[in-house]
A and B are shown apart, each in its own frame.
Chain A
């Protein structure tokens, strides 16, 4: 009988046998017999009936792809070998977010909304809302970030703090904040100060959580939607990298 040599990682599926005896007149028949004997091998060798691209069947020193493929004839004393190629690699281009731009944005939102509350200025709430909504739709026109980029950073008043992160969740958080602030301004205009200031304080507290504790509630919501597969929330979190003990 012909034999097929099993690579180490697949021996778990052949009761730890390193060589399996098979019948068949061709490489394809021999592999089919192997799978008939050890069903669990199939998904690791084949994909939709085709040999996986990184699975190589060798007859002597030759990859059967360069012989007659699955039709390559074998003898009773043929020794076939399954030899993997090992492949992989990182995927997404690295994405970065300047945390300082976000912090300046949060600090200005908090300051202006508190100012609006103290002096009872509905139009200042409306202004913050407009800045946030415009900044969500056209990120290049986000006023508070422009202040950071064009004034505070060049003057070295705020140092950049660029870390790997996804911008989408922050944009989503900005959109949520913008809507709450819009609701606040609208309520104040309509003579509902209790509701209006409650909404404004929700935004102040959430922006404060992010600014002082680094917890972005909007991002958290975004990633929950991502986890649940909600359309439009396609970006998965970048895992937190903690330095290990070494």
Chain B
């Protein structure tokens, strides 16, 4: 699977995650899924719903956030295609905790934010048997 993201949306994601630093930031990805590509058309940056003390290494988006995101997607003719979140001062790869809480058929963009600066984003997808994540090809640019 390939994940396509415009530089403009990428900048929007990075700004949100840098603002959340040193805590984790997150939000939803809206777009369209072709057979082998996910094209992100819109991002919905949201507040981390975890308690303040846990936000440095945990994020959560509530069921209400999810329901609203689906409504926004439906209303704009898009689909909810995934989630983005940051790993402050950690690598842009999924943790066991990420895997245990992940959904299949969702793109997970993980951005490593080092010292307040977004340095690397990688795209991941949960395997259907929930055993691990596979990395998606992440294409950034004018699309």
Query: A residues touching B (Cβ–Cβ < 8 Å)?
Result: 7-12, 40, 43-44, 54, 56, 58, 63, 81, 83-92, 94, 164, 238-239, 241-246
What chain A residues lie within 8 Å of B80 (beta carbons)? 7-9
User: Is B17 interfacial (CB-CB < 8 Å)?
Assistant: no
Number of interface residues of B (CB under 8 A): 52
Given A81-B67, A88-B102, 17 new contacts (CB under 8 A): A7-B80, A8-B79, A9-B103, A54-B101, A56-B63, A85-B61, A85-B62, A85-B66, A87-B59, A88-B94, A88-B97, A90-B90, A92-B90, A243-B120, A244-B120, A244-B121, A245-B140
Q: Do the beta carbons of A238 and B91 come within 8 Å of each other?
A: yes
Contact B104 A12 (CB under 8 A): yes
B76 CB–A CB distance under 8 Å:
no
Which of chain A's residues have a CB closer than 8 A to the CB of B112? 241
User: How many whole Å from A80's CB to the nearest CB in chain B?
Assistant: 13
B83 at the interface (CB under 8 A from A): yes
- Measured CA separation A85–B94 after assembly (Å): 17
**Contact sample, A vs B, 16 pairs, CB 8 Å cutoff:** A7-B80, A10-B105, A11-B105, A43-B130, A58-B63, A86-B101, A87-B60, A88-B58, A88-B83, A89-B57, A91-B95, A94-B89, A239-B91, A241-B119, A241-B120, A244-B138
Instruction: Please give, as numbers and ranges, the residues of chain B lying within 8 Å of A9 by CB-CB distance.
Output: 80, 103-106
**Bound complex: CA A81 to CA B128 (Å):** 22
- Is the beta-carbon distance between A84 and B104 smaller than 8 angstroms? no
Cα distance A9–B38 when bound, in Å? 13
Contact A86 B66 (CB under 8 A): yes
A156 CA to B37 CA in the complex, in Å?
51
The CA of A244 and the CA of B7, in the complex, are separated in Å by 12
User: How many pairs, one residue from A and one from B, have CB atoms within 8 Å of each other in the complex?
Assistant: 120
Which residues on the B side are within 8 Å of A43 (C-beta)?
A: 129-130
Assess the B119–A243 pair: CB atoms within 8 A: yes
- Chain B minimum-CB-distance residue to A89: B58
Query: 9 smallest A-B Cβ distances: which pairs?
Result: A91-B95, A89-B58, A90-B90, A90-B87, A88-B98, A83-B63, A9-B103, A86-B61, A87-B101
| Nearest-CB residue, chain A, relative to B64 | A83
Whether B104 contacts A88 by the Cβ 8 Å rule is no
A7 to B119, CA, bound (A): 32
Q: Which B residues lie within 8 Å of A241 (CB)?
A: 91-92, 112, 119-120
Taking the complex as formed, is B18 at the interface, i.e. its CB lies under 8 A from any CB of chain A? no
Q: Which residues of A contact B138 (CB under 8 A)?
A: 244
Q: Is the CB of B83 within 8 A of A86?
A: yes
Q: Which residues of B contact A11 (CB under 8 A)?
A: 105
Query: Taking CB as reference atom, which chain A residue is nearest B107?
Result: A9
Alpha-carbon separation in the docked complex, A12 to B61 (Å): 22
Q: Are A246 and B79 in contact (CB under 8 A)?
A: no
Q: Bits for B39-56, please: 1 = Cβ < 8 Å to A, else 0.
A: 000000000001000000
Q: Closest residue of chain A to B23, judged by CB?
A: A89
Taking a contact as CB atoms under 8 Å apart, the answer to whether A88 and B59 are in contact is yes
Known contacts A7-B70, A63-B63, A164-B91; A87/B58 CB under 8 A: yes
A87 to chain B: closest CB distance in Å? 4
Whole-angstrom distance between the Cβ of B92 and the nearest chain A Cβ: 7
